[in-house]
Structure 1
Amino acid sequence: MSRYAERTRETKETLVEVKLEIDGNGEVKIDTPVSFFNHMLHSMLFYMSSNSSVLAKDKQGFDDHHVVEDVGITLGQSFKEAIGDKRGIKRFSSIVVPMDEALVLVALDISGRGFASVDLDLKREKVGDLSTENVPHFFWSFSVNSGVTLHIRKLSGFNEHHVIEAAFKGVGLALREACTIQDNLVRSTKGSL
């Protein structure tokens, strides 16, 4: 069974193309106009062990908001399609990721109910060319469109590059574990996800 999806989202502001194969080996291609976001997406999808491609163009050039949001939406929709009926998946995962002085907790549930609660206590306005306010916005856009309940908490850390990168790596690692197929059961007392 191949868990794969391709999605394109085009608006007056952006053009986003995503290819996502959940069961891969971490072959990732990222090309958006936001360099630090490219670095973070690469980390997330690599640690998810997906084979994936994310290409995005900014048609207006206002700032990084529309690219980050539309990539989150398109990647979330791709994940939702690729994961299918969720039969046999582990469903839940949590992980604590260290990156030097930073320590970040990620917990998620592939429940079908998209929600994100992100508390990274970011103080800087930007890291590289990525507005830090768009970090939680990306995770919200991804979660709502993927049907994943996601919680991210900074436990410690002062280098915001490290904190953000630990969050993206943690989401990738947790998605990888939660996507693992254990059997042929639907992991829900309701009988469906």
Structure 2
Amino acid sequence: MAIKKERITKETTIHLSVERGLSASTIDTGVGFLNHMLDLLAFHGHFVFDIKVDGDLDVDDHHTTEDVGILLGQAIAELNVDKSSIQRYGTAYVPMDETLARSVVDVSGRPFLHFEPQFSAQTVGTFDVELVKEFFYALSINARLTTHLDLIRGGNTHHEIEALFKAFAQSLRIALSNSEIDRIPSSKGVIEE
């Protein structure tokens, strides 16, 4: 079942739906590099995204990137309300040629982001790489995830960011996958909502 979300501000208008699956996604944020990264996130995370954004790109890509992260995080949180049979933790290492990224995710209900990659350049095309952290912060906080993203080895900035998105997608897919044990994956007996 798809979770549909909408966000309308003076800066962006976003219509988004998210569901689990392997079908192709439809993504139009107006920011080519962000479209590419979201497509990778959907593909490797086993999600189907339908995202349409009308943002204030005449200013820059910041509001579009951050607001998509906010709404995507909210949708992922709603998509996975029943936490009684998930793995909860996911870890993934992804190489992209000379680059190596690591993502560790805990579907804990306690939102936190550790993010310290040092990118090789400030932009990829016209995309400002500082927006990568803004995106993952907005997504992690709104999905109520504890997320640790590390760039172990770098090189080409496009590869660095792509490896991070793929690693995050893989680790989230693992964390949200079904456990063979039918119980809340917490010794407290509850995962924070």
- C-alpha distance 60-127 of structure 1, shift in aligned 2 (>3 A): closer
- Verify: 1:175 aligned to 2:172, yes or no: yes
- What is the rounded CA distance, in whole Å, between the counterparts of 2:57 and 2:28 in structure 1? 17
Distance 2:52 2:14 in 1: 6
Match of 1:81 among 78, 82, 86: 78
For residue 70 of structure 1, the aligned residue among 67, 70, 90 is: 67
SS at 2:151 equivalent: strand
Q: Percentage identity across aligned positions?
A: 37
Structure 2 match to 1:19: 17
CA gap of 1:110–1:26, structure 2 versus 1, over 3 A, is: farther
Which residue of 2 is the match for residue 185 of structure 1? Answer: 183
- Partner Cα distance (1:60, 1:31) in 2: 13
The total of aligned residue pairs comes to 190
How far apart, CA to CA, are the structure 2 residues paired with 1:26 and 1:45?
Answer: 9
Query: How far apart are the structure 1 equivalents of 2:48 and 2:114?
Result: 27
Structure 1: how far apart are the matches of 2:114 and 2:64? Answer: 21
Mind listing any 5+ residue stretches in structure 1 that lack a counterpart?
Answer: none
Equivalent residue, structure 1, for 2:5: 7
Question: What displacement does 1:129 show?
Answer: 2.5
TM-score under structure 2 length normalisation? 0.94
SS in 2 for 1:30: strand
Query: What's the CA shift for 1:27?
Result: 2.1
Are 2:8 and 1:44 aligned? no
Q: Which amino acid aligns with 2:153?
A: S
Kindly state the Cα deviation for residue 15 of structure 1 after the two structures are TM-superposed.
0.7
Match in the other structure for 2:149: 152
Does residue 99 of the first structure (1) align with residue 96 of the second (2)?
Answer: yes
Whichever residue aligns with residue 190 of structure 1, its letter is K
User: What is the rounded CA distance, in whole Å, between the counterparts of 1:32 and 1:13 in structure 2?
Assistant: 13
- Consecutive unaligned residues of structure 2, counting only runs of 5 or more, are none
More deviation, 10-19/177-186: 177-186
Shift of 1:185: 1.1
Contact 1:93 1:178 in 2 (8 A): yes
Q: Secondary structure at the match of 2:83?
A: coil
Separation (CA, whole Å) in 2 of partners of 1:138 and 1:117: 13
CA RMSD of aligned residues (A): 1.2
Q: Which amino acid aligns with 1:138?
A: F
TM norm structure 1: 0.94
Relative distance call for 1:60 and 1:72 in structure 2 (3 A) is same
CA distance in 2, matches of 1:122, 1:60: 23
**Aligned partners of 2:23, 2:113: CA distance in 1, in Å?**
25
Return the offset for 1:57: 0.9
- Answer yes or no: is the 8 Å Cα contact 2:120–2:155 preserved in 1: no
Report the equivalent of 1:28: 25
Identify if the C-alpha distance between structure 1 residues 10 and 192 changes in structure 2 by more than 3 Å, giving closer, same or farther: same
